[in-house]
Structure 1
Amino acid sequence: MPALVAPPKDEVEEEVKPKMLKKMAYFKHLQGAFDEYDQAFIVNADNVGSKQMQEIRIMTREDCLLVFGKNTQMRKAILEKAEENPDLKPLVDHLKGNIGFVFTKGELKEVRDRIISNKVPAPARAGAIAQLGVTIPAGLTGMEPTQTTFFQALNIPTKISRGQIEIMNNVELFKEGEKVTPSQVALLTKMNIRPFSYGLVFKQVYDKGSLYSPDVLDITEDRLKQSVLSGIAKIAAVSLAIGRPTRASVPHSMMNGLKNLVAVSLATDYTIKAAEKIKAILDDPEALAAMAAAAAAPAADSGAAAAAEPEEEEEEEEEEEIEFDLFD
């Protein structure tokens, strides 16, 4: 057996050098992106083809920079950069799977929505996790009667109608999150159903050192206002319950105090300004009776209307019974 001869050192260096230069260029590109941009998305590119990726690059090239690569290289480049900027270090934990970065200087929600709009319809794939549930609608399939056994294998009830297979009922083929089987893929292919659509999936948002879920971008001002008001109401309730005043509870405490003063004023001969109108009404029986009648009128009207509806139904039922007897 001939002895193995190691290649010359110069040849090894020539092979390694281009790889090292390419790696260094990639590190410089990714690290430079973090210098230029302070906002970025972490995206997953599963099932996104090269043509679709090129379309996304074209539609975002004015205000975005897309950077993909090997996870090991991205981790190493980010960890090196994290020595200067520690805020980048948490990004490393999210570099799992087919991951890349979309750097941008634009408005985050607008950029995300623009990229999400680029989706490509795609057939189901065996072994893939269903993005959504798929239901096969009842009706004619356009398939020949000879393929009935195929539906029987999937427990789908069928019949022959006008020379083709007809599905008798709506059939839920699979639910969201379930694994798609080869038989289900074959059925969808035969029926020319492409249930899924693929595009970049947004995983995390990096915004000026902060890292958060893309769902935060969907929070509107109204929703934020409601959350703040709900929190203030809870703080006020707790403050009142434990007897510790806060800025949130002061208005409620003042209102409760005013109610107590009015109650004391009504029970005594001492009159405060807030109780003057109430005392005047209580001292005037006719005015009090008029107010009571006015308050009772709407309730009486609604009660009468509610009582009138069943009577109409009874009349209709009686008419139906008469027609039924005559028909017999």
Structure 2
Amino acid sequence: MKGRKREIPAWKQEVVAEIKRLIEKYPVIGVLDISDLPASQFQQMRHKLLGQAEIVVAKNTLVCRALEETKAKNPKLVELASFLRGQTGVIFTQMNPFKLSKLLRESKISAPAKPGSKSMKDVVIPAGETDFAPGPVVGELQRVGIKARIQAGKVVILEDCHLLKAGDTISKEIADVLTKFGIMPLELGLKLRAAYEGGMIFAGGVLEVDEKKILDELKLGSLNAFNLALNINYPTPLTIGLLIAKARASAQNLAVNARLPVAEVLPLLLARANAEMLGLATVIGGKNFQALDEELRNLVGLSTPPAAA
């Protein structure tokens, strides 16, 4: 005798139906990693995203079922199932995946150190006086590599100490010291594992774009393209003005060098002829003072005959 078909609980059906409704409503669907994120911080971030995105936290099996049931309309969407592992949330939004990734990165909050966690940034303890009262704290600092001692009734750090590098595992001793200094080396937030938009799946790493670097590269590329177009005389809206000015200057130089008496260069030709005439007059006047009339002698500065050699 065949066993009866197992009936799916109503609450599970409601969760799947809600996810399917949101899939139909929003063009962008993302898979979030919410592991190691305390409930209070999760609620804070959820509140920050109000009006911009909706987040659903459900069992991975239920999310997979919802993706399967929408496969007929969005065949590519089912590939998001490969990113469902561990503690997962699903985010639905109208903003594009790159903007969503940036928003989530900027929404991270600093958190105190936990033993066994990895530091998100370099931590340097600077040299100088501290607010700590003399006592066992000196030994605690020294045990983690911080050079400290008591001077004039105060605990003093003798030199800068590079306590942690980004990616270092935090020990219990270091976590306790960081707490005393009020340093929070961890960053908690929603991590975007992947996002779907317009029939494409974007992995989380692809979406983490360094905007400053991209803008700098675009500026450099634009400048190189402009210089190339200018050097090969390629007319574009940006280069046409400079190309015309360059052509005009070349034509003017050619006309001047060829002694071509056109209206644009005639004043230059006359100025050059006058300069050459004065130069010749200076040479002649130096040899024969009487060969120049009075006006010309004044022009070249020979108002009196040169002294005899």
* Alignment of structure 1 residues 169-208 onto 2, 5 Å: 169-202=159-192, 206-208=196-198
Equivalent position to 1:68, from 33, 57, 78: 57
CA offsets, 1:286-327, max 9 Å, x none? Answer: xxxxxxxxxxxxxxxxxxxxxxxxxxxxxxxxxxxxxxxxxx
Aligned letter for 1:52?
Q
The answer to whether the 8 Å contact 2:134/2:154 transfers is: yes
Give distance in 2, aligned partners of 1:207 and 1:280. Answer: 71
1:124 equivalent in alignment to 2:107: no
Give distance in 2, aligned partners of 1:273 and 1:214. Answer: 62
Give distance in 2, aligned partners of 1:70 and 1:233. Answer: 52
Task: Give the secondary-structure state (helix, strand or coil) at the position aligned to 2:163.
Answer: strand
* Alignment of structure 1 residues 1-328 onto 2, 5 Å: 13=6, 17-18=8-9, 21-71=10-60, 73-75=62-64, 77-78=66-67, 80-86=69-75, 88=77, 91-92=80-81, 94-95=83-84, 98-105=87-94, 120-138=109-127, 139-163=129-153, 165-202=155-192, 206-209=196-199, 211=202, 213=207, 215=209, 230-238=220-228, 245=234, 247=236, 251=240, 254-271=244-261, 275=265, 278-279=268-269, 282=272, 285=275
Kindly state the Cα deviation for residue 266 of structure 1 after the two structures are TM-superposed: 1.3
Give distance in 1, aligned partners of 2:121 and 2:42. Answer: 23
CA offsets, 1:46-105, max 9 Å, x none? Answer: 432222322333444444311233445545543553442245356456556644333234
The answer to whether the 8 Å contact 2:34/2:88 transfers is: yes
Task: Give the secondary-structure state (helix, strand or coil) at the position aligned to 1:145.
Answer: coil
Partner of 2:282: none
Where is the helix percentage greater, Structure 1 or Structure 2?
1
The answer to whether the 8 Å contact 1:265/1:275 transfers is: yes
After superposition, the Cα gap between the structure-2 partners of 1:250 and 1:275, relative to the gap in structure 1 and judged at 3 Å, is farther
Task: Give the secondary-structure state (helix, strand or coil) at the position aligned to 2:8.
Answer: helix
Output the TM-score relative to the length of structure 1. Answer: 0.61
Kindly state the Cα deviation for residue 162 of structure 1 after the two structures are TM-superposed: 4.6
Kindly state the Cα deviation for residue 200 of structure 1 after the two structures are TM-superposed: 2.4
The answer to whether the 8 Å contact 1:126/1:182 transfers is: yes
Task: Give the secondary-structure state (helix, strand or coil) at the position aligned to 1:159.
Answer: strand
Aligned letter for 1:100?
G
CA RMSD of aligned residues (A): 4.3
Give distance in 1, aligned partners of 2:220 and 2:237. Answer: 11
The answer to whether the 8 Å contact 1:136/1:173 transfers is: yes
Aligned letter for 2:74?
N
The answer to whether the 8 Å contact 2:114/2:175 transfers is: yes
The answer to whether the 8 Å contact 1:141/1:191 transfers is: no
The answer to whether the 8 Å contact 1:38/1:209 transfers is: no
CA offsets, 1:249-296, max 9 Å, x none? Answer: 9736555543432221111132556645655664565xxxxxxxxxxx
113-122 vs 154-163, which moves further: 113-122
Give distance in 1, aligned partners of 2:245 and 2:132. Answer: 73
Give distance in 2, aligned partners of 1:174 and 1:164. Answer: 25
After superposition, the Cα gap between the structure-2 partners of 1:82 and 1:258, relative to the gap in structure 1 and judged at 3 Å, is farther
82-91 vs 59-68, which moves further: 82-91
Task: Give the secondary-structure state (helix, strand or coil) at the position aligned to 2:119.
Answer: coil
CA offsets, 1:172-203, max 9 Å, x none? Answer: 21012222223211322344543434232456
Partner of 1:307: none
Task: Give the secondary-structure state (helix, strand or coil) at the position aligned to 1:258.
Answer: helix
Output the TM-score relative to the length of structure 2. Answer: 0.64
Give distance in 2, aligned partners of 1:124 and 1:142. Answer: 19
After superposition, the Cα gap between the structure-2 partners of 1:280 and 1:47, relative to the gap in structure 1 and judged at 3 Å, is farther
The number of aligned residues is: 268
Unpaired stretches in structure 2, ≥5 consecutive residues? 276-309
